Amino acid sequence: MELGSYSDQSKSTFSLADEDHTIANAVRFTLNQDPRVTFCGYSIPHPSDNRVNIRVQTTGDSAREVLKDACQDLMQMCQHVRSTFDKSVNDYKMSKTVKDMDIK
């Protein structure tokens, strides 16, 4: 859900249902990394509401697009984390088996 104005698309609040700090804090991080963003922040209006509001203000671009890009960035980072992690785990397992073999 987006709460913003039609005339000025550069600032907007997005309300994500069933989400919490997990995504909001991560997205805030990627949003902050984007030079187009002048302000971003999030809040959880009430702890018994399963909802998080993300505020995005940009230098001019559409806040929605910027947020989408931020999510995209986050996703790509995750993908990279995953591949790197898998690789290291494999490396570790390989080295370990080699070590075990060495011992034997």
User: Strand runs (DSSP E) across the chain, as ranges?
Assistant: 2-4, 11-17, 37-43, 51-58
Nearest distance from C-beta of residue 90 to another protein, angstroms? 9
> Are 1 and 33 contacting, i.e. CB atoms less than 8 angstroms apart?
no
42 Cα distance to chain centroid: 12
Residues forming contacts to another protein in the complex (CB under 8 A) are 2, 14, 16, 19-23, 25-29, 32-35, 37, 47, 64, 67-68, 71-82, 84-89, 91-93, 96
Nearest distance from C-beta of residue 23 to another protein, angstroms? 5
Give the residue with the Cβ less far from another protein, 88 or 98: 88
Strand partners for 43: 53
Taking each continuous run of H as one helix and of E as one strand, the counts in the chain are 2, 4
Give the residue with the Cβ less far from another protein, 8 or 68: 68
Give the residue with the Cβ less far from another protein, 8 or 88: 88
